[in-house]
Structure 1
Amino acid sequence: MKISFERSGGIGGFHIRVVLDTKEMSRLEIRVVTNLIEKASFFALPSESKASTLADPFNYEITVQNGKQHIVKRYDDTIETQLRPLVEFLTNKARQKDKS
């Protein structure tokens, strides 16, 4: 499974990105990310969200490829509750990548 994550926008225009491949992850990380995707009902989420009401929100784009591909785009204020843990996990992974 491949997961692409990108966060852009915000006041400073900061951009972070990470691509994860489960072939390169530990068993624990695979279990965690798979669980987060399942709990978010990721493949059942609509691709686009309603417009943001914030002045300069972060924009998120998550692509999961696992035999099929699904892309979900959200703003800070349009992230569903069940999707937020996956966004936080991927944000942390992107920040770790930037530090290395």
Structure 2
Amino acid sequence: MRITFERTGGFAGITKKTTLDTNTLSAKEAKELPLLVQAADLFHLPAQIPSPNPQSDRFQYRLTVEDNDKQHTVIVSEAALPGTLRPLIEWLNNAAKQK
């Protein structure tokens, strides 16, 4: 599984982007990441999840997940982040900080 994660916006407007591949992650991380993707039901989320009340200085996330022959991209505003997706976003944010 391979995930490209991009966070844009925020107060400083700094973009953070990283690509993670379960083939190059630690064994623990390689086990956790697919479970988080599955718990988020990411492949069934719509391509865009906009905020009903757009606010400046909020983050926007773009996730592209490739798994075997499947690929799906989701763009979601921080203000519209579904609860099921939050643990995956937090995990990816932490992973991006470590790179």
User: What is the TM-score with the length of structure 2 in the denominator?
Assistant: 0.92
Tell me how far apart the structure 2 counterparts of residues 93 and 79 of structure 1 sit (CA, whole Å).
Answer: 19
Report Cα offsets for 1:60-94 as digits up to 9, x if no partner. Answer: 00000012110010111011000000000000011
Task: Give the 3-state SS of the residue equivalent to 2:12 in structure 1.
Answer: coil
Q: CA RMSD in A?
A: 1.1
Structure 1 residue 21: Cα displacement: 1.0
**What's 1:24 paired with?**
24
**Letter of the aligned partner of 2:64 in structure 1?**
T
Query: Unpaired runs of 5+ in structure 1?
Result: none
User: What is the TM-score with the length of structure 1 in the denominator?
Assistant: 0.91
Percent identity between the two aligned chains: 38
**What's 2:40 paired with?**
40
- Residue 14 (1) aligns with residue 11 (2): no
Structure 1 residue 53: Cα displacement: 2.4
1:1-100 matches, cutoff 5 A: 1-51=1-51, 52-66=53-67, 67-97=69-99
Which of structure 1's runs of 4+ aligned residues deviate more than 2 A? 50-53
The number of residue pairs the alignment matches comes to 97
Structure 1 residue 50: Cα displacement: 2.4
Q: Which has the larger strand fraction?
A: 2
